Chains A and B, each alone.
Chain A
């Protein structure tokens, strides 16, 4: 801490302040706006994409990010990324989410980001991770303040997710058709979660579909729909 040596400067203020300044540490005063602060790489990245008015990366920034990453915004890897970021809503990242996400992924440059994408994509092959991403998708894709997921968003998400899943679920298209034709309402969370269970555990010929096992009503209706339309596969 510099000392104001009045004594040395014989109670003369001007030389005293000069000496005071001379004694200050050499790195710039944060209040001094003349020199922009040196940012961390992550901060730099953030700055590049963030919305000018909000402390968030919003639609426009996201689109730029995708371009820089050389990836289609509809690519499922964006979903995986959002999952890592624990993003609350699709198509935007809060500052916190972005920072925490990149930290967790150990990314601090666009190149590292780009090269992390394939491994992110392959994470979906892991059954447990897929389930986590799947379950995450519901809250992420739904509108803020709503309890249920809009039907067309849900259909879009399902199509996206099931395209990645192996073994493929043969009824994806029928499921989407059924929803559009018969259901026409938003999807509750419980039904969303239970569907993955259904897809994974009930075989295409529906031979092990047990009505007693408390599947959601929507699933029961879907099974009836398949039977009614003669769409049940007989493998």
Chain B
């Protein structure tokens, strides 16, 4: 044996016999074509996937991809045309079902075909930029079946008709609809939109335009809105069941436009059932519905808000200018509060606590409350009423609620300084007559005012409380020190008021009875003994007295009267009858006050401890007064005092106004000086704006008054006008 030569084995590629059989391609294609046919004829079970795949693979490999592809196109087109005809032939109801069925079959077929031709799909097609098999199948379906002249319009019409039927209350086959719509979506969003959605929206618009017109003629606002809401919900449900989700926004927009936007004004202003009626009748549900529907539409809420605002302003204006209402300040304010409560509730329950509505409500209140110049006075009177009796027995939390509501009204006031003036007056009366329901409530309100307006606003008010407390201590000291000396003299209670803190009163004359005078002097010397350098003056128009009185038949009563009344009554200890003139001379009380005093003693039923001749209602100089022996009353204690806060008469009101205006002048000047000191040079309009801004927490300054103050300051050489620009002012240091 010869030595075997080592040889490198070369493994050569297994070479097929190159078959350059021109008929090869043709043969292979025929196989595939046959397969496709079988697939379409539902005979796929007899086919061998592996063999077909290999055939397709070979074709592509041997560069017959083009033939394969074009063959595919041809074959598929042919089959689809057959399918198309059968669909076209379907009658009535069966049309959609047939379409649906054929579509499902086509999809299955397509999948198989794609699997078979996968190699081509992955190699030949990308490199030649041809449409992939699956997509090709869809496109052909679209072009041949869906866009066939008969089917295209028929399909659309059928779908739209079904929608219409459903809108009219019929039940339709939603599953079928869903499949068909899905088919269109699968064919491409362009197809869905062009072949269906576009028309669907148009037709829906027409439908709702008609329907809304019909409804609006026949329904009231509330019912119309119910129907609109129902339709809207319906459409949304429709979309979720068988349309493309992206259609929801579009169809709801159509409904909103046709049913709501087109009829917004008419709905809101509808007679007897529109927005205003809903507000008046507190129709929370209807209002809520309106809010929810209108907010979907541009400017929808604007209209609602504007109409509401106009109505509130109008009602408010009537409320504050109605002469009937102005007679009872407490009722006036209560109505304002009730109105606010009503709208707060509406905004909270129906308008989703919408801030813009809250703001509109606030600005409306601010507008009309300030239309009545007496609002500040009335609000103070309301508070006075509550603190004197209204809040008796009310729990602490409820008191806070009422006070907070009062603060809310207070915030709306433009002339807060006027309120301050009245509040001070009324508080003084409450404190001095001891008629406040709860000290805590009083203090609580002061704290709230302080938080709102700053320390300056309330410092004087707090001073009043301090005075009351100090006076108690003073009285205690007085009786301890001087008590024994006083013997049987009348029991005196003095409140010492610091002049600056209390409302200014003009000093009045009044001759006190001797026994009163005596004990008053004792107090005065005691007080001045412990407080040197002070001056005391008796405020006879603010005091009260309790008189133990015995009448004709021995009936005893305790009369609670004002100081003036006491002076008058004490005269009758020494006389049974007195003329007006005699009384006037003896007491030295000013005429208007005296007349009021005598009227309350002689002309009021149940309180007539004096008798007047003649029996007329008014007091005249020739009247004569008698002690009324025959006076009777159920009560032992009879209140005749007149120191209760009440709404000012016109002349008093005018006087207070004037005082307020006077008080404002120095405040305006101080503001001007402050501003000019820091800015040095400033033009007229800016000064006015700045001054207004600085003072707006207290009142709204009148630009003319500001100008007058500037002129006054120029004259007093605090400011000068610029030589060249007349509008400019300069601060003179």
Chain A residues engaging chain B, CB cutoff 8 angstroms: 147-148, 188-191, 193-194, 197, 212-214, 216-217, 220
Contact = CB atoms under 8 A, between A and B. Distances in A.
B interface, how many residues as a size bin? 10 to 19
Interface of B: 683-685, 704, 707-708, 711, 714-715, 721, 726-727
A220 B704 contact: yes
Given A214-B684, A217-B704, A220-B704, A190 B711 contact: yes
B714 A188 contact: yes
Given A190-B721, A214-B726, A217-B704, A147 B715 contact: yes
Nearest to A218: B711
19 contacts: A147-B715, A148-B715, A188-B715, A190-B711, A190-B714, A190-B721, A194-B721, A194-B726, A212-B684, A213-B684, A213-B726, A213-B727, A214-B685, A214-B726, A216-B707, A217-B704, A217-B707, A217-B711, A220-B704
Contacts, number: 34
Contact of B685 (A191, A197, A212): A212
Given A212-B685, A214-B684, A217-B704, A191 B727 contact: no
Chain A interface, DSSP helix/strand/loop, else mixed: helix
Contacts of A214: 683-685, 707, 726-727
A178 B708 CA distance: 18
Given A197-B726, A213-B727, A214-B727, A188 B711 contact: yes
Nearest to B705: A217
Closest 7 A/B residue pairs (Cβ): A214-B684, A214-B727, A188-B715, A190-B714, A217-B708, A217-B707, A213-B727
Contact of B711 (A147, A191, A197): A191
Contacts of B707: 214, 216-217, 220
Contacts of A212: 684-685
Contacts of A148: 715
A147 B717 CA distance: 11
Contacts of B726: 194, 197, 213-214
Nearest to B704: A217
Contact of A190 (B683, B684, B685, B715): B715
Contacts of A189: 715
A218 to B, nearest CB: 8
A216 B711 contact: yes
A147 B711 CA distance: 13
A148 B714 CA distance: 12
B724 to A, nearest CB: 11
Nearest to B720: A190
Contacts of A193: 721
Given A194-B726, A213-B727, 12 more contacts: A188-B714, A188-B715, A190-B711, A190-B721, A194-B721, A213-B684, A213-B726, A214-B707, A214-B727, A216-B711, A217-B711, A220-B704
Contacts of B685: 212, 214
B681 to A, nearest CB: 14
Nearest to A197: B726
A189 B683 CA distance: 20
A190 B721 CA distance: 8
Contacts of B708: 217
Nearest to B729: A214
Contacts of A194: 721, 726
A2 B459 CA distance: 89
A194 B729 CA distance: 13
A148 B721 CA distance: 17
A221 B444 CA distance: 47
A191 B715 CA distance: 10
Nearest to B721: A190
A193 B396 CA distance: 64
Contacts of B684: 212-214
A78 to B, nearest CB: 27
A212 B683 CA distance: 11
